[in-house]
Structure 1
Amino acid sequence: MTFLSTLILALAMSTDAFAAAVSKGVALRKPRFSEAVRTGLIFGVIEALTPLIGWALGSIAAEFVSEWDHWIAFCMLLVLGCMMIRNGLNNESEEAPPVTRHSFWLLAATGFATSIDAMAVGVSLAFIDNNILITAAAIGLATLVMVTLGVMVGRIVGIIAGKWAEVLGGLALIGIGSAILYEHLSAVP
């Protein structure tokens, strides 16, 4: 793979994570830059590890991963999105303290859900001449940057959206999952 194709692949793999990060930033009340970097690191590490795992599994898991990756991502993002909507609607009726930090496990689950496609890419990279370590590092770094920016963009959207921010963030996660599912199902002949 050339440098340019590695860069394009890394950016493409980080777009879902960027959209999810915006929704995470929306759900937070004025996230700090340090929280955005923390979120970016969690997503970036997961996004870098999944193509390595996919590459290691190679052809053994290729059929399973490619057949089910979109369903797994959809279900995980649907559940996470519904949880955010429920929390947003519950916050509407009672004055809860503002969320200033997401739990590690919530971020890891969201990061994993948006990186399942990177595992499938890793499987396909096992069959071409490619330095998987450089590719995985590029994907992880691009995701770190995109997610950090996404959380900060979400901060602005959250201020504008007010009390409905978490509901909008949940709807965004459901939308991402639906788009992943639609993209894969529409590609089936």
Structure 2
Amino acid sequence: MVKRILALFVLAFLFWHPCSAIVDPASQELRFIYITNTIDTPTASLTKHLKQVYKDGINYGYPTIFYLSNMNNSVVATVGLGHDDSKAFGEIINILQTSTYNNIDAYQDLENIKEIFDAVDFLNEDGKFQYQSMVWDFFINQSFWDLHYNDKIIAGICYVLDIDSLPDGCFRIRVQYSGMGDLTYDIRNPLGTRLDCSKIANFDLIKFE
């Protein structure tokens, strides 16, 4: 059973829980962090970074979704969305620290991530984007790019979430990669030729060590 089920139940629960104090989304930036785990992953710096992001979510209420890709065993954790899922976040950190490789299934990821965004209601009842802005961080390695997951997964998520419907200038993507070499991309089509990237206000490719 996919480990995301419990996390998605918690997400659905938080929206009607009377004790949940959620800041108006229209004043916030929604952050989505996609994480891969391979032998090239700089585990120490990555886990340190993720812990700081989670801490900021706790302290300042920044709405953040963490997603560790691992086929049917992918793990989801949230913070700043009315429920701070420390157990699932701890599981992500533990996997990164104790495992050297997790498998990726592009189709499973698209299904999972569509369910996650539906659960956090990133669109309002009228189908309009209800946050001030949104940023996606992808922590990957070179094989992710070589296997065209930039097209299959990153662009694929844009398709299934209908990013074209978002207001101009509110959506950013940062691809943070590890490994020995450098990644290159076509500045006109950074996520493949199928996707119109005009809705991406800023696309950054960053070496993460």
Q: TM-score per shorter chain, which class? A: 0.3 to 0.5
TM-score, normalised with respect to structure 1: 0.33
TM-score, normalised with respect to structure 2: 0.30
Higher helix content, 1 or 2: 1
